[in-house]
């Protein structure tokens, strides 16, 4: 158990809809990362938050947004969903960015767009 | 941007044997971190081993060890005494030690699927 909790584990929805994925980092970790794993793109970094503030952006679409709340949990919002958004979405956390400590991953949310 | 290449889409090893998974990367940075993550069918991402680029000594974790060749930008994973539970997808990942445009995000290779046969 990594200590990172992601909900829901599975999500099935239709094109054009909007969903929210939730992540609770490990106790004490201040930094949260979101990754997308798909068959064609592999594992891609989407966005990073540290102590409530956005720190870095990767290949995140404009239809996607995220935030980190004062209690340090994070949400990834995906809107106007397309078939190609079907993927496994991981959240990872670390104590502080920039240290040698590794990122610990949650079990992921499997998003299926019908 | 740094690229990570895993040239072996699939590898196979017999139980109790040794297997080496390859990883190369491209970077102009001198300080960085390298990781191997394991993703079994349960889809969890499990950290196997990590290496700091400033350390010359190769990292080891029980049956797992790396061969880190900084000049060659190579970071291979050796699994000794392979077990059935080692069957999984293995991902090599690079992380900058400086706050680049991608922050401290992991940059992953495409992965190597490891099959362990009895």
- CB distance from A36 to chain B under 8 Å? no
Give the mean model confidence (pLDDT) for residues A20-40. 95
**Tokens for B100?**
């680049």
Query: Are the Cβ atoms of B107 and A45 closer than 8 angstroms?
Result: yes
CB B114 within 8 A of CB B90: yes
Q: Are strands A10-13 and A109-113 parallel, antiparallel or unpaired?
A: parallel
Q: Which of B47, B99, B108 sits opposite A102 (nearest CB)?
A: B47
pLDDT at position B56: 87
Q: Confidence band (pLDDT; 50, 70, 90) for B107? A: very high
> What sign has the CA pseudo-torsion A37, A79, A54, A21?
negative
Q: Which of A2, A98, A103 sits opposite B99 (nearest CB)?
A: A98
Q: Confidence band (pLDDT; 50, 70, 90) for B11? A: very high
Ranked by mean pLDDT, which of A58-62, A109-113, B55-59 comes out on top? A109-113
The pLDDT tens digits of the residues spanning A49-97 come to: 999 999 999 989 999 999 999 999 999 999 999 999 999 999 999 987 7
- CB distance from A73 to chain B under 8 Å? no
- Judge residue B76's burial from the number of C-beta atoms within 10 Å of its C-beta, 0-12 exposed, 13-18 middle, 19 or more buried: middle
B101 to chain A: which residues are within 8 Å by CB? 56
Distance from CA of B26 to the nearest CA of A (A): 17
Query: Are the Cβ atoms of B105 and A48 closer than 8 angstroms?
Result: yes
Distance from CA of A58 to the nearest CA of B (A): 6
Task: Report DSSP letters for A26-41, one per residue.
Answer: PTT--EEEEEEEETTT
SS3 content of chain B, % helix, strand, coil (to 5): 5, 55, 45
Identify the residue among B35, B88, B98, B106 best suited for mutation to test binding to A, counting A beta carbons within 10 A and taking the highest. B106
The pLDDT tens digits of the residues spanning B15-40 come to: 999 999 999 999 998 889 999 999 99
Average pLDDT over chain A reads 94
Does B55 score more than 70 pLDDT?
Answer: yes
Q: Please state the length of chain A.
A: 114
Q: Are strands A74-78 and A42-50 parallel, antiparallel or unpaired?
A: unpaired
pLDDT at position A59: 86
Alpha-carbon span B107 to A74, nearest angstrom: 21
Alpha-carbon span B18 to A44, nearest angstrom: 30
Listed in sequence order, the residues at least 6 apart from A99 whose beta carbon sits closer than 8 Å to its beta carbon are: none
Q: Which of B46, B52, B104 sits opposite A97 (nearest CB)?
A: B104
pLDDT at position B1: 67
- Judge residue A70's burial from the number of C-beta atoms within 10 Å of its C-beta, 0-12 exposed, 13-18 middle, 19 or more buried: exposed
């Amino acid at each position: 158990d990594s200590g990172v909790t992601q909900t829901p584990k599975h999500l099935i929805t239709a094109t054009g809809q909007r969903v929210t994925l939730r992540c609770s980092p490990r106790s004490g970790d201040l930094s949260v990362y979101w990754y997308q794993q798909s068959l064609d793109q592999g594992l891609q970094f989407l966005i990073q938050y540290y102590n409530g503030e956005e720190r870095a952006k990767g290949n995140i679409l404009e239809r996607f947004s995220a935030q980190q709340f004062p209690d340090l949990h994070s949400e990834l919002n995906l809107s106007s969903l397309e078939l190609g958004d079907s993927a496994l979405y991981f959240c990872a956390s670390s104590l502080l960015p920039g240290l040698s400590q590794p990122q610990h991953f949650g079990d992921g949310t499997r998003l299926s767009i019908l | 941007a740094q690229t990570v290449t895993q040239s072996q889409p699939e590898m196979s090893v017999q139980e109790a044997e040794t297997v080496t998974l390859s990883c190369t990367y491209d970077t102009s940075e001198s300080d960085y971190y390298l990781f191997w993550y394991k993703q079994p069918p349960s889809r969890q991402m499990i950290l196997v081993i990590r290496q700091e680029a400033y350390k010359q000594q190769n990292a080891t974790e029980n049956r797992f060890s790396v061969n880190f060749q900084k000049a060659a930008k190579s970071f291979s994973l050796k699994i000794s005494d392979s077990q059935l539970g080692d069957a999984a997808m293995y991902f090599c990942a690079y992380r900058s030690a400086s706050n680049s445009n991608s922050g401290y995000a992991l940059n992953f290779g495409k992965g190597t699927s490891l099959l362990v046969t009895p």
